[in-house]
């Protein structure tokens, strides 16, 4: 089974989660190493967003989640953010009635002022496009710029792990490249990234390792540069992974109950 060469930062084992009585995830095992980009791929409805919501404390779960050496059982979103784990939710979630700068100040709520201002400037430095509009209302930003602002909000707290849910959704190819390039910069700066992305080719160019989800279960784990990986992913999605190609921990797909 492919394993991370880096020190484990996020360790998940036998995780199950869902919505009320509707089960979505079944026995998820996943790790993210310190300073690596891990792509989480899969068809619509596979459970990718559910997994990120469970990790960040937005959904209840069973199993085990360990982050930076500490158990996250019972942790809420505030706890996970304080631990250094930040979740950027899909859909350009910014406060359009506030300025760009005020959005970032709000993202750093609770930080000491001596840390807040430098960290806001650091976050802006990743995206010169929005830094130039710091005093403009977020409502005036394009969809791509709002996505950059959403990512910058996550960066204000200098996370050890940034989870990005579909950052390319609704963006032009040029802006997709710009947002994903920021994820590469984060890795270079030592921040780990867990990336949910539908644009498989772009995700594979960035990712150190890849997990594939289908029907709530991990069906494939691989290094991001393995040959023929797009075809292997396609076969995995349809439950046709050949013997020896799947991770030994890959489990049969279990439909939600």
57 within a domain of the structure (yes/no): yes
- The domain that holds 192 is classified in CATH as 3.40.50.300
Q: Say what the pTM is.
A: 0.85
Please state, rounded to an integer, the average pLDDT across all residues of the chain: 87
The domain in which residue 183 lies consists of 8-237
- Give the model's pLDDT for residue 159: 93
Q: Which pLDDT band, with edges at 50, 70 and 90, does 193 fall under?
A: very high
Pick the residue with more confidence: 3 or 160? 160
pLDDT beyond 80 at 242: no
Express each pLDDT in 4-32 by its tens digit.
456 899 999 999 999 988 899 999 999 99
3 within a domain of the structure (yes/no): no
Express each pLDDT in 36-62 by its tens digit.
999 999 988 899 999 999 999 999 999
Pick the residue with more confidence: 111 or 239? 111
Q: Which pLDDT band, with edges at 50, 70 and 90, does 92 fall under?
A: low
15 within a domain of the structure (yes/no): yes
Residue range 207-229: average pLDDT? Answer: 93
- Give the model's pLDDT for residue 3: 46
- Give the model's pLDDT for residue 198: 86
Q: How many domains does the chain have?
A: 1
250 within a domain of the structure (yes/no): no
49 within a domain of the structure (yes/no): yes
253 within a domain of the structure (yes/no): no
**213 neighbors 251 (Cβ within 8 angstroms):** no
- Give the model's pLDDT for residue 144: 84
Express each pLDDT in 97-106 by its tens digit.
999 999 999 9
242 within a domain of the structure (yes/no): no
């Amino acid at each position: 089974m492919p394993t991370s060469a880096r020190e484990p930062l996020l360790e998940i084992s036998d995780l199950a989660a869902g919505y009320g009585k509707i089960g979505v995830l079944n026995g998820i095992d996943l790790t993210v190493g310190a300073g690596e980009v891990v792509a989480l791929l899969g068809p619509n409805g596979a459970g990718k967003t559910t997994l990120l919501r469970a990790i960040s404390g937005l959904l209840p779960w069973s199993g085990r989640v360990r982050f930076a050496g500490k158990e996250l059982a019972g942790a809420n979103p505030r706890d996970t953010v304080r631990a250094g784990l930040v979740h950027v939710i899909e859909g350009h979630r910014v406060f359009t009635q506030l300025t760009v700068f005020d959005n970032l100040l709000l993202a750093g709520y609770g930080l000491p002022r001596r840390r807040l201002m430098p960290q806001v400037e650091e976050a802006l430095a990743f995206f010169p496009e929005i830094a130039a509009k710091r005093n403009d209302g977020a409502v005036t930003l394009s969809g791509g710029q709002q996505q950059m602002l959403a990512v910058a909000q996550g960066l204000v707290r200098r996370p050890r792990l940034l989870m990005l849910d579909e950052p390319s959704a609704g963006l032009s190819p040029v802006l997709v490249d710009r947002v994903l390039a920021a994820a590469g910069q984060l890795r270079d700066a030592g921040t780990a990234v867990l990336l949910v992305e539908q644009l498989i080719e772009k995700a594979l160019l960035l990712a150190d390792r890849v997990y594939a989800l289908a029907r709530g279960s991990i069906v494939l784990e691989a290094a991001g540069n393995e040959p023929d990986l797009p075809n292997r992913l396609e076969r995995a999605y349809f439950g046709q992974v050949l013997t020896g190609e799947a991770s030994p921990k890959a489990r049969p797909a279990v439909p939600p109950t």
